[in-house]
Structures are given as C-alpha cells and as structure tokens.
A and B are shown apart, each in its own frame.
Chain A
Amino acid sequence: MSAPSPVGGALASTTVGYEPGPGDQRDDEDRVRQSALRMRRRRTVRLWLARGGVAVFVIGGWQLFTTWGLVDKFFYGQPSGIWDSLVQLFAHGTAFGSIWEDIRVTMTEAIYGFVVGTIAGVIAGLALGQNRFLADVLGPYIKVVNAIPRIILGSIFIVAFGFGTFPKVLLAAVLVFFIVFFNAFQGVREVDPNLVANVRVLGASPFQVARHVTIPSALTWIIASLHTAFGFAIIGALVAEVLGAQHGVGLIISQAQGRFDPDTVFAGMAIMAVITLAAEYLITLLEHRVLAWRPPASSEPSGL
C-alpha cells in the first residue's frame, strides 16, 4: 500500500524545476484519486467480509446447535440436511416428476397472478384517484375488503375452482391487486397541482392531463409497489398450492410437512427465495429503466 504510484513517480521526475508547475498539481490530484480509490476498495472488501460473516454465523450456528442437540433437528431441520434434500430434489425429482416442472407451474401461477393483479390495480387506482366522488363512495368498502385476511380466500377459490391453475392465479392476483391499487391511488393523489394547472392552461384535455402528468407521476409509486407485489404473488401461488394442488413447489412443501420432513420444507423455501430475489433484480432493472429521470438517491455519490 505504501509503494508510490508509478504515474506519480514518473511525473515527479520530469518536474525538476523549483516552482510548483501544473505537473505537480496533476500529480497531487492523481494521488488524491488513487487514495480515494484504495479507500473505496478497502471498504468494499470489508463490507463483503462482514456480510459473509453474518451468513457463516447464522448457518454455522444452526448447523452446530442441531449437531450438538441443543436444538432438535427433527423440528427445525439442519443446513446440511436442507442441502441434501436440495440435491435430492434437483437430482432425482419428486414423487410427481422433475422439480423443474413444479417450479415452472408455481412461477406460471405467480406471474399470471402478478400481471393480472398489477393491471387491475393500476386501472382501479388511476380511475379512483382521479374521481373523487367514486373514491368517496367506494372508499369504506375498499377499507373493509382490505381488512379481510385475503389469504383465506384461497380456501374458497380451491373449493370453487378445483385443484388447477386458475384458483392459484386468482389468489395471487387478489393479493397483488390491493398493493398495487393503493399505491397507484396514492400516486394519483400526490400529483403536483401546479403541473396539472400548467398543462390545463396549455390546453390539455382530461386525457392529455392523465397522459402527461397523472400517469408518469403515479408511475413512481406504482413501480415501488411492484417489489412487494411480486413477493405477494409468490406467496399467493404457494399458499394456494399448499391448500390443494397437483403440481408446484407448494405441493412439495405440504407433502414434506406430512412426512415430518422440515429439511425439504426449508429446501422449498430456499428455492422460492432464490427465484424471488432474481425477480426482484429484474424489477429493479425495470425501475432504473423507467425512472431514469429521477435524481440519484442521496446515498449514491457518497463522500470519498
């Protein structure tokens, strides 16, 4: 770390004069830049070491405690056991076929539910956000429906629509709808009245006000809600599968529960967690794309 930078050294040897020339200044700036870079690299290394440490502490502690028998692995599983059942699931599949088929089924249900719920939520949110009377009329009912533990609707959907894909999509869509709806609604309410006045004075029709002001403004809120909403789409699909299904990760989980096999339950959880993280990443990419106009978060240009 203490070795002088080659660039700085070369510059210093060329400026042998007695007065500080422009070369010296550049040399200085170079040094500052290099040390800033070094500090940032060191911080990144420390950050990742600390993060790794947390994982080792939690998973290692779990493994040790269950090995020593302080925690009963019959109830709480064991990381090595979870790993074994993951290998088992991917290498040999389940009693119903390949694990990939189950993942595909669950993801299809979750994605359909996500898309349907998001579209319905956006439309309802924009409509009610712009129509005060309608919002006042429906407001109390929406509050009531929102207060219902909607996950229970899954039972009704299974009874009404059977063990197929449809009730899963429906439950996922219902969960997604309310999250997206409330955000879209709030987003419309938060529109800057000056902007609306401005485009109205410029001669905008109500449709143009929506296109130029309301929708772009609400988009920030809507996209923010998609992160949470996708998690709920997965939850909806999984819970509906646990309640009754012929395929899917939820089915694997409920079967494992029946066999008193916590390792496989955790394995199912881990699979869905990885998928959700991947989806989260894609949504973040979309967010950066669509909301490129936003100022960078205040934490980003952190001091060097």
Chain B
Amino acid sequence: MVVRPGGRTGAAEPRTGHSARIQISGLTKRFMTPSGEPFTALRDVSLTIEPGQFCAIVGPTGCGKSTTLGLVAGLDRPSAGSVQVAGAEVSGITKGISFMFQADALFPWKTVLGNVMTGPTLTGVSKRAAIESSRDWIRRVGLSGFEDRYPHQLSGGMRKRVAMAAALINEPEILLMDEPFGALDVQTKAIMQTELLGLWEQTRPSVLFITHDLDEAVALADRVLVMTSSPGSIKESFDIDLPRPRGSVQEIRYQPRFTELQHQIWSSLKDEVERAYARTAGAA
C-alpha cells in the first residue's frame, strides 16, 4: 500500500521508508526539431526499478537520459510505450516524486529555510509543521545555523545540501537525480555522494540517478544501466554487489571489486561514448 507523502505530518521520526516500483516498457520519445525534422531521443526503453533500488544510468551526452527522467516525473508525455509508477500509469505529474537537477534549482529569493519549506508548503502541510520538519532536515544535512542565509551566500556544496534537504523533506517514494553533483569540484562531490548515501539509507526511496561519471555510478548504485548513444536505449545492466552500507565513497574506490565492476561497465560504455563523440566531432 502506498501512502501519499503529503498526508504525513511534520516531525521526521525515523522510518523504514516506503518506495515505489518504476516500470518502463517500450518507451519511445520523439521530438520535433526546430527545423521540422523528427528526432528520436529514446527508442523502445524497457526497465524495471524495484522499490528502494538505487539505479544509476550512464551513457554518452545526448542519449536521452534526462528525457527518461522527465517522462518518469510526468513532466512530459511518451510518444509510445508506458511508464508505470507504483502500478499506476503516469499521467500528469507523478505523485511522491522529488527531482534534483545539476543546476541547483533553489529559489534565489528564499532563505535556506524558505527553500526547504517549499515542498511541505506545496503539499498543504501547516506552516508550523513545515518549519519544524525543515529545521530538522537542515540539521540533517549539516546546515544548522544557516537557516536565514540566501543561496548566493552559500558555497556550491552547501547549496547542494539545501537542494538535497528540499528534495528529501517530502520523503519521496522516488528520487530522480539528473547529474546532481556534476558541477561540483572533486572533493566536494565525494563528500556530497557520501552524504547522499547516508540520507538515502535512512529513508530508502527508489532512485534513478543520471550521471556521466562512471565511478560515481558504481560507488552509489545497486544497479548501473548503460545507455546507447542516440536514439537512447538500454544497452546493458550491471548489478553492483558491493555491500551496504558503503560508508565513505572515497574508500570504496580502492576495493578490488569496485575496480573490476568499473572495468566491466567501462568496456560496455566506451563504444557508445566513442560513437557519440565521433558524431559530435563530425558535426562540429
């Protein structure tokens, strides 16, 4: 039984979490380019993400990874095929979802508290409860004392933490992440990855995580999907059997099993990256 996140009240007691299954079958998405040519971004993508699974998608630039997320969120309609979340066909905005973008989609005119509060406010939680749970989440991402700052007063890593708190406060069943740490420097990125894993293990939503960074995918995910260059389709799926909890992301990289998996996936991904690169280089 799936409970809507909006129905929950403020204070964040530790919970076992609930998460939804994502079933994508025969998904195709075509766009019309400005010159009037149809362009197939996704072709016949089928995949299932089990409840609570952390699934990473890697693939070359422009293979329709972001398009897939948009379709799961219900921001866009498929041209063919279907997306089901928790057994229901996606039509309109999917319930119980949070999105995290590469550009931190924070409101520059709201304080840290205001940004984190947006989620509960929109789902109709009372203001007091919203403030209470926002403070709790700000504490969880280690930003206590920064509630009244505006985003421009924070560092890149701190803004990501705010975005993470804002995405997780509604305790989503599904977390969609579109290269969330793409713009961070290497050290900050590693810290944020470790924190994301820590927070995810507390609430365990299903995660669809898009990245260019293969190390990131292997370090975080239960499963890594390799997509082909456009039109995008699923090329291969790899189960990542590194034990959980994984602890520090920096440490995992030195495990022999990590290297082994990383190699396997890279040999699959390499062809696609090269193909995509040859195409863009040819076009340039």
Chain A residues in contact with chain B, CB under 8 A? 192, 194-195, 197-204, 208, 212-213, 216-217, 219, 291, 293-295
Contact = CB atoms under 8 A, between A and B. Distances in A.
Interface stretch (B17-25, B117-125, B128-136, B229-237): B117-125
B107 A194 contact: no
Interface string B4-42: 001000000000000000000000000000000000000
A204 to B, nearest CB: 5
Contacts of B107: 195, 212-213, 216
Contacts of A293: 108-111, 150, 152
13 contacts: A194-B103, A194-B105, A195-B107, A197-B99, A197-B101, A201-B93, A202-B119, A203-B95, A219-B109, A293-B109, A293-B110, A295-B150, A295-B152
B211 interface: no
Given A202-B170, A294-B152, 19 more contacts: A192-B105, A197-B75, A198-B99, A199-B118, A199-B122, A200-B93, A201-B75, A201-B93, A202-B98, A203-B95, A203-B122, A204-B122, A213-B107, A216-B109, A217-B109, A291-B109, A293-B108, A293-B109, A295-B153
Nearest to B178: A194
A91 B110 CA distance: 51
Contacts of A199: 118, 122
Nearest to A204: B122
Contacts of A202: 98, 118-119, 122-123, 170
Nearest to B108: A293
Interface residues of B, number: 27
Contacts of B119: 202
Contacts of A219: 109
A293 B70 CA distance: 30
Contacts of B150: 293, 295
B101 A198 contact: yes
A291 B108 CA distance: 10
Contact of B99 (A201, A204, A216): A201
B73 interface: yes
A208 B124 CA distance: 11
A219 B101 CA distance: 24
Contacts of A198: 99, 101, 105
Contact of B123 (A197, A200, A203, A291): A203
B152 A208 contact: no
B58 interface: no
A110 B152 CA distance: 37
A295 B153 CA distance: 8
Nearest to A197: B75
